[in-house]
Amino acid sequence: MARYMCMDTLKFLLFDVHQTQELLSYERFADYDLDSMNIILDSAKTWADQDFYPFYREMDDQPAYFKNGKVHSHHILDKIFKGAGEKGWIGSYFDYDDGGNQMPHSLANAANHILESANNHIPGYLGLTSGAAHLIATFGTQDLKKKFIPNMIAGKWGGTMALTEPQSGSSLSDIITSAKLAEEGYYLIKGQKIFISGGDHQGVENFVHLTLARIQGAPAGTKGISLFVVPKHRLNEDESMSYNDVCAVADFQKMGQRGYSTVHLVYGEQNDCHGYLVGEPNKGLQYMFQMMNGARIDVGMTAASTATAAYYHSLQYAKERPQGRKIQNTGKKDSSVGQTLIINHPDVRRMLLFQKSIVEASLSLLLECSKLSDITICEEGENKENSHLLLELLTPVAKTYPSEMGRIAINNGLQILGGYGYCMDFPLQQYLRDIRIMSIYEGTTGIQSLDLLGRKIPANNGKALQLLFKNMLKTINLAKELKSLSPYADELSKKINEIQKALEYLAPYALQGDYENYLADATIFMEMTSNIIIGHQWLKMAVSAQSALNNGKNTFDVLFYESKIQTMKFYFKYELPKTKACLETLLHSDKLTMVDEEKEIIF
C-alpha cells in the first residue's frame, strides 16, 4: 500500500512540539495516558488502511447519485458507520454523561488526520454526525438528547448541518426557511436547503438535519434565526417511526469529493415536517457557531490531510522516476552517464520541500487549535478566556491556509509527475479536484478573511493578537537560545512588525467607520498573517528538533530531526519573504476594488 501520511511526524507534532500529554493532568482526561493515546492512533491507522484508503479511487469512479427518490453512495459507508458506532468514534470527545469517551480533541483530531489522509470522502460523514449530535448535547433538552444522541453516536443515524439556501450562502441573514409553532409544541418547517453534505445516503437508517429556520414573525436578519432538529423519520410516542416530510430531491454532481453526497433537501411539501426547537428562539445562529467552528477546523484538517497524501504520492514518484542528468552532467549524453532520478533535480526538490513545508505546518497549526480547544474546556477564569480568544483568532487561519496553500502544494505534486500527473490513472488529479472545495464550503476564503480582520482582530481591544504575539515571542526567545536558530528567530520578530504596520495603516479606517476601506483587502491580510503564523509553527518545530538533537534524544532518528530543521529553513527562504509583497499591497494608497454602485462597473 502506498504511503499516505507519516505517523512519526504526527507523533512528533503531538508529543514533542505541542506537548499534548500535558492535557492528561486535567481530571476530564484522567482515563487516558500516553500508552492509550498511542494505541488509539495506531488503531486509527489500521482502520484507515483497511476501510478508508482502499476505496479512495473507487469513490471517485463511482460517485454518489440520486435515483428513485434516494441518494446512493459507495457501499463502504455501511461498514464505516457501523464500525464508527462500535468503536465509539462518533461521540469520542463527548462527555461521559452524553454517551461519549471524553477523548481530548487533540487526540480525536490527530486520529482524524490519519483517516482524512487515507480517504477524504469519508470522514466528513462522521464528523457532521458528531457535530450535529454534539450541538444537541450542548443546547438541547433532555428529551431531545434522549431521542437523538444514542442512535447518532451508535452510527445508526447520520447528522447534517443545514444552513445554505439558494439565495442565502455566505450571508445567512437571508435565510427564508420558515417554522410555524403547532399546537402540539413542535414547529412545522417549510423551505429548502441546498448543498447539504451527507444529507442522504444508504449507509444509515435515518438523518437528523440541524436546520436553521425563521420562526414566523421573527426579526429580520441574523437576529431572527432559530435552530431546529429535523429528522427524516420521526419517532412517534409508541416508538414507531414515520416519514417526517423532508426529503432529498437531488444530489449535486461535483468536480471533487464525488463520494461525499451533497444533497438538495425539500422540507414540508405536505405541510407535515416537524422540527424541534433547540434552545431559545432566535438564538440559532449563535448555537450553530459551535458546530461551524468545529467544522472549520475539520475542513482545515481535511485540506491538510489531502495535501499530505498528495505529497507522499509525489515523493514516491520522484524517488522512482529516472529522467535527465544531474546539472553538472548535462551535455554528457554518452552511455557512461546514466539518467538520474528526478528527486535529484533541484527544481523537483524545491517542489517537494514546498509541499512538505505547507502540509506539516498546517497540521501543526491544527493540532495547536485542538489543544486550545481542550484547554478552553478544562480551564477556568483567565486561562479559559485566553485560550478561547486565541482559538477564535486562529480558526479562520486554520481553515483557510491549508485549503488555499494545500491546493497549491498538490498542484506542485502534480507537476512532479509531469504528464502522468494530468492522467486519470494517477491520483494527483483527484487530490487536486478534491481539495478545491475546501476554500469554498464552511465559509469561503473571502468570508474567513473578513472574519479574521473584521471580528477576530478587533475583539476585546485586540487581546487575541497580543496573546498570539506573546506566544510567538516565547518561541523566538527559545530559538535564540539555540544559537543555530537565532537568525530565524530574528526573521520572525520582524514579521510581527509587519502585522503591526498593516494594522496601524488600516485601523484608522475602522475607527472612522469606513469599513469598506478597512476590509477591502482582508484576503491579502489573511495571506500575510497566515504565512507568518505558519512561519511560527516552523520555528516551533525547529526548536523541538534542535533541542532533541542537542539532548541526544532518540525518539526519532537524526535525519528525521534534521529534515524538520531543513524544511523550516526552506520555508523561511522561499515562503516567508512573500509577506513583504502583501504588506506593500496593503499599504498602497490606490483604491482599485472599491465599488460605487451608482457607476457602471469597469470590467
- DSSP β-bridge partners for residue 229: 210, 276
Specify the residue, 196 or 309, whose C-beta has the smaller distance to ligand FAD. 196
Specify the residue, 63 or 535, whose C-beta has the smaller distance to ligand FAD. 63
Sorted by sequence, the CB contacts under 8 Å of residue 1 that are 6+ apart come out as: 49, 53, 54
- Beta-strand relationship, 246-251 and 241-243: unpaired
- Do residues 548 and 555 make contact, with C-beta atoms less than 8 angstroms apart? yes
CA dist 44 → 36, 77, 105, 125, 373 (Å): 12, 16, 15, 16, 21
Size of the site for ligand FAD (CB under 6 A): 21
In the complex, least distance from residue 248 CB atom to ligand FAD, rounded to whole angstroms: 13
- Do residues 579 and 498 make contact, with C-beta atoms less than 8 angstroms apart? yes
With contacts defined by CB under 6 A, name the span among 26-34, 130-138, 167-175, 374-382 that binds ligand FAD: 167-175
Task: Please state the φ and ψ torsions of residue 203, each to the nearest 5 degrees.
Answer: -75, -15
In the complex, least distance from residue 101 CB atom to ligand FAD, rounded to whole angstroms: 25
Q: Supply the DSSP symbol for 260.
A: S
Residues 175-214 within binding reach of ligand FAD (CB under 6 A): 195-197
Using CB under 6 A as the binding rule, whether residue 163 contacts ligand FAD is answered as: yes
Specify the residue, 525 or 572, whose C-beta has the smaller distance to ligand FAD. 525
Q: Which residue's CB comes closest to ligand FAD?
A: 169
From candidates 262, 362, 387, 546, binder to ligand FAD by CB under 6 A: 262
In the complex, least distance from residue 441 CB atom to ligand FAD, rounded to whole angstroms: 4
Using CB under 6 A as the binding rule, whether residue 71 contacts ligand FAD is answered as: no
Specify the residue, 44 or 172, whose C-beta has the smaller distance to ligand FAD. 172
Give dist(CA 103, CA 134) in Å, integer.
Answer: 14
Half-sphere exposure of 439 toward its Cβ, with a 13 Å CA cutoff?
A: 20
Residues 241-260 within binding reach of ligand FAD (CB under 6 A): 254
From candidates 76, 108, 115, 161, binder to ligand FAD by CB under 6 A: 161
Specify the residue, 154 or 437, whose C-beta has the smaller distance to ligand FAD. 437
Using CB under 6 A as the binding rule, whether residue 173 contacts ligand FAD is answered as: no
Task: Please state the φ and ψ torsions of residue 188, each to the nearest 5 degrees.
Answer: -95, 120
Q: Is 442 a catalytic residue?
A: yes
- Do residues 162 and 210 make contact, with C-beta atoms less than 8 angstroms apart? yes
Give dist(CA 148, CA 155) in Å, integer.
Answer: 11
Using CB under 6 A as the binding rule, whether residue 362 contacts ligand FAD is answered as: no
- Do residues 132 and 144 make contact, with C-beta atoms less than 8 angstroms apart? no
Using CB under 6 A as the binding rule, whether residue 170 contacts ligand FAD is answered as: yes
Give dist(CA 250, CA 263) in Å, integer.
Answer: 6
Q: Find where cell 419517532 sits.
A: 235
Specify the residue, 4 or 441, whose C-beta has the smaller distance to ligand FAD. 441
Residues 382-441 within binding reach of ligand FAD (CB under 6 A): 437, 440-441
Using CB under 6 A as the binding rule, whether residue 476 contacts ligand FAD is answered as: no
Specify the residue, 81 or 572, whose C-beta has the smaller distance to ligand FAD. 81
In the complex, least distance from residue 400 CB atom to ligand FAD, rounded to whole angstroms: 11
Number of H helices, E strands in the chain: 19, 12
Distance of CA 21 to the CA centre of its chain: 23
Using CB under 6 A as the binding rule, whether residue 52 contacts ligand FAD is answered as: no
- Find the helix or strand (DSSP H, E) in which 276 lies: strand 274-278
Q: For residue 585, how many other CB atoms are within 10 A of its CB?
A: 15
Using CB under 6 A as the binding rule, whether residue 164 contacts ligand FAD is answered as: yes
Specify the residue, 10 or 204, whose C-beta has the smaller distance to ligand FAD. 204
CA dist 467 → 172, 385, 454, 594 (Å): 30, 11, 18, 33
In the complex, least distance from residue 528 CB atom to ligand FAD, rounded to whole angstroms: 18
From candidates 169, 279, 281, 418, binder to ligand FAD by CB under 6 A: 169
- Draw the binding track, 431-460, toward ligand FAD (x: CB under 6 A; -: no contact): ------x--xxxxx-xx--x----------
- Do residues 475 and 361 make contact, with C-beta atoms less than 8 angstroms apart? no
Using CB under 6 A as the binding rule, whether residue 162 contacts ligand FAD is answered as: yes
Q: For residue 173, how many other CB atoms are within 10 A of its CB?
A: 12
Find the catalytic residue in 368, 404, 442, 498: 442
Q: Which residues bind ligand FAD (CB under 6 A)?
A: 161-164, 169-171, 195-197, 254, 262, 437, 440-444, 446-447, 450
Active-site residue set: 442
